[in-house]
Amino acid sequence: MITVTPLKTNTISIFTRLYSSFWRDYRKKQGIKKVNLKEYEVEAREIAQKMGHIIYLAFYNQNPAGFIHIHEIEGVYWIKEIYTEPKYRRKGIALELVKFAEKEILKRGETNLYLMVTPWDKQAINFWRKAGYTLLNTIELTKTLKEERENDVVEIIGDLWDIYEVKNTSSFKPVELMLMEALKDVKNAGIEKEKILKFLLWSMMHLLDSSKKNKESSEYDRFIKIMEHAEGRALDVGSGQGELVFLLQRSNKIQEIFALEKNEIYFRWCQRVSKRLGIKNIHFLNAEFLKWESKRRFDTIIFSYILHDLEEIDEFLDKAFEMLNESGKILISDIDLNNLKAKLTLWADSRNVKISIEEGVRIISHGTETKWFFWKIGK
């Protein structure tokens, strides 16, 4: 059972402990390891006795579970901190604190509550949006007079802004980290704003969250067969923005992946995202396939949505075939554009190799109605 009560003299010690815990956790998110909790305990006791500071405590089954701190400044009420003890989270306590505070502020004759949230704190932003705080009021800007660390980049209202480098990336999905890296790369490349926005739109369309894919999705159909058949040491030719390899690396059938991409921007940001996530089994390489030399042999070589744009596919397939292990296979997921299906069949027949074809969903691509196809070529 959740109960919320105003701060009283006999509960100041509870607030002091919760307040210092809030700042310990918050500083940890910022990457600051050493925190002087004594300072925050002193600060909490001072706040508890100052005019204009409103504090409500939450109890779960009579156990102290969290607090919300509101500061009145010239008749405007600001939510300064809200905190729930880790063991009591996901029980609706924070939302109960907000609802209670809102009712109390309404009793005081005020109709608005304000708060500030850092742009990298995705968890906090999601919480406040769910609580109904959707009106973007102001954007706080600052300038670092002495540059001491690299900044990240975020896109807000159609423009790019620096934010302090995100230390804790655990709440970000790979797709979101990749987009952040893309923003930074594009900004550093000095590309004009219009091209940046086009790039972002294209990126967001293609960097799909795998958890939201379904069997009616053409993107799902593009990847699912490859994920079913890929194994061992894999080479992804033309890995692009890394959508496929970041999915594949989770498979227990995959030992390691070599992701070959000639676009330097895609290569650099995928490499950095992989490093941030601590992924050890993807090796990103900035090279063109036909010019790339390797003594390694692969169990799986993948061509995903690239062969249909090539005039001649024989040279690509011949090289891939030579790089396979004795029991290796080539996996191709693509659309039947520019007679790709006929070209693949002709290549397989002329080399006397086994090829199997499966049809996928029907889509519109390059202004033409076609289907996804999955080809599996083995020695």
The answer on 126 and 162 residing in a single domain is no
pLDDT digits (tens, 9 = 90+) for 89-98: 999 999 999 9
The answer on 248 and 291 residing in a single domain is yes
The answer on 125 and 171 residing in a single domain is no
The answer on 244 and 349 residing in a single domain is yes
Residue 321 scores a pLDDT above 90? yes
Query: Does residue 145 fall inside a structural domain?
Result: no
The answer on 119 and 265 residing in a single domain is no
**What pLDDT was estimated at residue 262?**
94
Residue ranges making up the domain that contains 183? 151-206
- Examine the fold and report which residue of 79, 96, 130 is the final residue of a domain before the chain moves on: 130
Query: Does residue 121 fall inside a structural domain?
Result: yes
The answer on 54 and 120 residing in a single domain is yes
**What pLDDT was estimated at residue 268?**
84
The answer on 365 and 299 residing in a single domain is yes
Is the pTM higher than 0.85? The answer reads no
Whichever domain contains 70, its CATH number is 3.40.630.30
The answer on 126 and 36 residing in a single domain is yes
**What pLDDT was estimated at residue 13?**
96
The answer on 222 and 325 residing in a single domain is yes
Chain mean pLDDT for the chain: 84
**What pLDDT was estimated at residue 279?**
87
The answer on 178 and 243 residing in a single domain is no
The answer on 357 and 234 residing in a single domain is yes
pLDDT-based confidence at residue 208 (cuts at 50, 70, 90): very low
As for how many domains the chain has, the answer is 3
pLDDT-based confidence at residue 159 (cuts at 50, 70, 90): low
Query: Does residue 61 fall inside a structural domain?
Result: yes
Q: Three-class SS string for the chain?
A: CEEEEECCHHHHHHHHHHHHHHHHHHHHHCCCCCCCHHHHHHHHHHHHHCCCEEEEEEEECCEEEEEEEEEEECCEEEEEEEEECHHHCCCCHHHHHHHHHHHHHHHCCCCCEEECCCCCCHHHHHHHHHCCCCCCCCCCCCCCCCCCCCEEEEEECCEEEEEECCCCCCCCCHHHHHHHHHHHHHHHCCCCHHHHHHHHHHHHHHCCCHHHCCCCCHHHHHHHHHHHHCCEEEEEECCCCCHHHHHHCCCCCEEEEEEEECCHHHHHHHHHHHHHHCCCCEEEEECCHHHCCCCCCEEEEEEECCHHHCCCCHHHHHHHHHCEEEEEEEEEEEECCCCHHHHHHHHHHHHCCEEEEEEEEEEEECCEEEEEEEEEEEC
pLDDT-based confidence at residue 213 (cuts at 50, 70, 90): very low
